[in-house]
Amino acid sequence: MGMRWATLGRGRLYFWLLTFPAVLYVVVWRLVPAFYTLWLSMTQYNIVYDALPRWNHFENFGRILRDGGLRGSLSLSVEFALIATAAEVVIGLAAALFLDTDPPGRNLLLGIFLLPMIMAPVVVGTAWSTLFDRTVGPIPYLVQLLHGPQVPWLATPATAMFALLIADAWEWAPLVALLLFAALQVIPRDQFEAARVDGASAGQLFLRIILPQIARMMGVAAGLRVMDAFLELDKVFVMTGGGPGTSTQFVSMFVYNQAFQFYELGYASAVITVVLALLAVAYGMYLRNYGRSLSPADS
C-alpha cells in the first residue's frame, strides 16, 4: 500500500525536507531556463549589439517558416537519426545474439564492448576525427596500404556524414546491445529446446521465438536512440563543425551556430522551442503506443 499524506503524521517535515532539493532542482535548473528560453524566443536579442532583449511580436517564429537553412538542418537530423538508429539496432542485435550464446570470457567481452558508451561524446568525436585525419589518421593509411582510393573522409558531404554515422554507431550500438542482451536473457531456454525438438531451424528460432519476445525492447532502444541522435551535437562539433559547407549541420549545430556564432539568442531560442515541442509530441506518441503495446501482456 502506498504512503498517504494523512498517514505521514510527524514525518511531514521530513517529507518536505527530502523532496525540497528535487523540487528546487526541477524549478531552478529545468523550469526557469525553459521559461526564460520561451520568453527569449519572442524577442530580438543579439548579445553583440542589443543591450536587452526586445519583444518582436513572434517574428522569430515567422522566420523559422521562411528559413531554408533550418529546413535543411531538420532534414539532415532526421536522416542521421534514422540511419544511425537502424545501424545501431542491427549491430547491437548481432552483438547481443553473440553474447547470448555464452562465449568464453563473455563478461570481459561485454565490458570491453560497453567501453565506448561510457566515454564522453567529445572524446569519441576527437578520437574518430584523428582516426579519419588525412595526414596522420590510421584509416586513410590502411585504405592506402590496401591500394584503396584516397577518401577525403571529413571533407566531402557524403563521406563526412558517413564518418559521423560510424562514430555514432561505435558509441551507441553497445547500449542497444546491452538492452537487447538483457531481453534475451529472460527468454525461457526450454522454448528453444522445445522448438528444436520440433525441428525448427536457426532462422525460425530467431523469427518465431526471439524476435517477438525482444521486439518491445528493440522499440525502446530504437526510440531512445532516435531522439538522442536527432539532437546530436558533440561529435558534429568536434569532427566536422557542421561542414563541409552545411552538409552536416544538424539541427543542434544550427541552433549552436545561431546562438554562439551569430549571437542571435532570440532566434536560437525560437528554433529550440519549436524543435523541443516537436520532439515532445513525438515522445508523447511514442509513450502512448508503448503503453498500449504493454497493456495486453501486463493485464
Binding site for another protein (CB under 8 A): 10, 13-14, 17-18, 21, 44, 46-49, 69, 129, 133-135, 150, 152, 154-157, 241-247, 257, 260-263
Shortest separation between residue 190's beta carbon and another protein, angstroms: 47
The CB density around residue 169, as the number of other CB atoms within 10 Å, is 24
C-alpha cell at 213: 519476445
Give kind and range of the element (H or E) at residue 173: helix 157-185
Provide the CB-side half-sphere exposure for 90 (13 A, CA). 7
Shortest separation between residue 19's beta carbon and another protein, angstroms: 11
When the beta carbons of 46 and 191 are compared against another protein, the nearer one is: 46
Dist CA 246 CA 72 (whole Å)? 9
When the beta carbons of 152 and 188 are compared against another protein, the nearer one is: 152
Shortest separation between residue 232's beta carbon and another protein, angstroms: 18
Q: 157 Cβ partners below 8 Å, 6+ apart?
A: 244, 245, 247, 248
Shortest separation between residue 22's beta carbon and another protein, angstroms: 11
Tell which residue, 194, 181, 213, 164, has the closest CA to residue 96. 181
The two beta strands, 54-55 and 43-44, are antiparallel
Asked if 233 and 164 touch (Cβ cutoff 8 Å), the reply is no
Shortest separation between residue 127's beta carbon and another protein, angstroms: 14
- CA distances in angstroms from 38 to 42, 60, 94, 275, 280, listed in the order given: 7, 11, 43, 12, 15
When the beta carbons of 36 and 215 are compared against another protein, the nearer one is: 36
Phi, psi of 8 (to 5 degrees): -65, -35
Shortest separation between residue 42's beta carbon and another protein, angstroms: 16
Phi, psi of 11 (to 5 degrees): -80, 0
When the beta carbons of 156 and 213 are compared against another protein, the nearer one is: 156
- CA distances in angstroms from 172 to 127, 210, 239, listed in the order given: 15, 22, 17
Shortest separation between residue 54's beta carbon and another protein, angstroms: 12
When the beta carbons of 69 and 291 are compared against another protein, the nearer one is: 69
Dist CA 273 CA 277 (whole Å)? 6
When the beta carbons of 54 and 196 are compared against another protein, the nearer one is: 54
Asked if 273 and 41 touch (Cβ cutoff 8 Å), the reply is yes
The CB density around residue 222, as the number of other CB atoms within 10 Å, is 19
When the beta carbons of 159 and 213 are compared against another protein, the nearer one is: 159
When the beta carbons of 39 and 286 are compared against another protein, the nearer one is: 39
Shortest separation between residue 168's beta carbon and another protein, angstroms: 18
